Structure 1
Amino acid sequence: MDPTDTEGQVALRLAKAAYALLEPIAAAQPFVAHWPETIVLRSTPPETLPALRWLDGASAFSHPTTSRLMAMLAETAAELAWRQSYAAADFGPSFLERYGWTELVGPSGPIGSKRMTCGFLLLGPDLHYPPHAHEAEELYLPLAGTALWQRGNGAPSLVPPGTPIYHESWLPHAMWTRTEPLVALYCWRGGTLGAKPQIMSRAL
């Protein structure tokens, strides 16, 4: 990809802002340590999903520390490749209407990396993301929307934007949105990056 292309410039701007937000966070240090030093851009044609209809409104539920990146994402989402890890057989078609993610850095993102991934998760309101787990360690930083998060067998707790959430390798976790959509920055490291999460029981 030519770095002057729109897709490449969008990815670079978002990645720079994401790094700036993550870098001061102690829990993010093991992830940003693997941030690619050499930027290799690849072509990732834009793809859309039904869940994007909640993205513009999500900005109203951001935190002062996350509002800039949230606004940048809302403005440029149409230039990104939005994807899903699941099929209707996994959680049902209504789940897919309210779920999607896009990778900025990683094996399939516009900024290539074999050591870590970084991107955005989008969940519409009134959605249960059932328990799932994966080999990679994971860090979430909610940008907009207060949602219920569950780690392992612990009780679900409300987590506001700007609060980092860490998941160890193979730790089951689940999320519930309520009236607000959820937009979160995510990072993975270790294991098979980009692997489909393992679906656990529907209730921990």
Structure 2
Amino acid sequence: MINSREHLSLEPDVINSGQRLQRSLHDVLSHGTPDSIQAHAGALDAAQWVIKKPLETPRGLPAFLEPYLPQALGAAPRTDEHLEALLEALSALLPHLSWTHRQAQAGQDDRFVQRHRHGMIAGPGGLFECSSLTLGLALMAPDTRYPFHQHPPAEFYLVLSPGDWYREDVGWWSPGAGGVVVNPPSCIHAMRSTHVPLLALWGLIH
């Protein structure tokens, strides 16, 4: 649940949209059958989101990437009421999100750097503060590969567009829009867009 602080000088609909996003994302994940997905749904349900005070001026998308966001959102699946509610809540939060990008590490092809951004929703750099979860929205231009990487926290992706995903124990595969990808702690993983932009909600469980 999201707790609002006293004397919060923010529009109620921002907090409302955050609550609806958290609830609808939980509902989408809880319909996944694997235990690994259920665990992420439980962590999301237990996470405490607190709206930042004051609200920072968001960092927008670079002009090159701006057209890809409405294109990907317009094509995102709306196959059930939970996905529909999620996309509505997400759209309401988009104007308030700051967009950041990952730098290339030693030995990595750096062409992806300017071709992707993460809209930070909860956790470090996000619209909402949260100590147990980092939640973001990944956007990549067409024909872009996010490099192989790993990190200690477990991670999930709710895939909202076509794209290819890699995990070291599986290889490359295409989960399809509406699919859920789970990366165990410290596993090597990556993703790449096809001829259309890649869009996905991701969460790191701390």
TM interval, shorter chain, is 0.7 to 0.9
SS at match of 2:98: coil
Deviation at 1:12, TM superposition (A): 4.5
Identity of aligned residues (%): 22
Structure 2 matches for 1:39-188, cutoff 5 A? 39-42=50-53, 43-50=55-62, 51-64=65-78, 65=80, 66-70=83-87, 72-74=89-91, 76-87=93-104, 91-92=109-110, 94-143=111-160, 145-188=161-204
Structure 2 gap segments, 5+ residues each: none
Tell me: CA distance 1:21–1:149, structure 2 relative to 1, closer, same or farther (3 Å). same
Contact 1:15–1:105 at 8 Å: present in 2 too?
Answer: no
Deviation at 1:21, TM superposition (A): 2.5
TM-score scaled to structure 2, two decimals?
A: 0.77
Contact 2:20–2:86 at 8 Å: present in 1 too?
Answer: no
- What amino acid is the match of 2:46? H
How far apart, CA to CA, are the structure 2 residues paired with 1:119 and 1:173?
17
How far apart, CA to CA, are the structure 2 residues paired with 1:74 and 1:33?
21
Tell me: CA distance 1:25–1:49, structure 2 relative to 1, closer, same or farther (3 Å). same
Q: CA RMSD in A?
A: 2.7
SS at match of 2:185: coil
Tell me: CA distance 1:136–1:78, structure 2 relative to 1, closer, same or farther (3 Å). same
How far apart, CA to CA, are the structure 2 residues paired with 1:49 and 1:87?
19
How far apart, CA to CA, are the structure 2 residues paired with 1:72 and 1:29?
18
How far apart, CA to CA, are the structure 2 residues paired with 1:139 and 1:148?
15
Contact 1:31–1:188 at 8 Å: present in 2 too?
Answer: no
Q: Deviations over 1:92-146 (max 9, x none)?
A: 2x42332011222213322211111112111111111111111111011012x11
Q: Deviations over 1:131-188 (max 9, x none)?
A: 1111111011012x11111111422111112211111111111111111211111111
Structure 1 gap segments, 5+ residues each: 191-204
Aligned residues: 186
2:22 paired with 1:22 = no
How far apart, CA to CA, are the structure 2 residues paired with 1:85 and 1:12?
29
Tell me: CA distance 1:34–1:117, structure 2 relative to 1, closer, same or farther (3 Å). farther
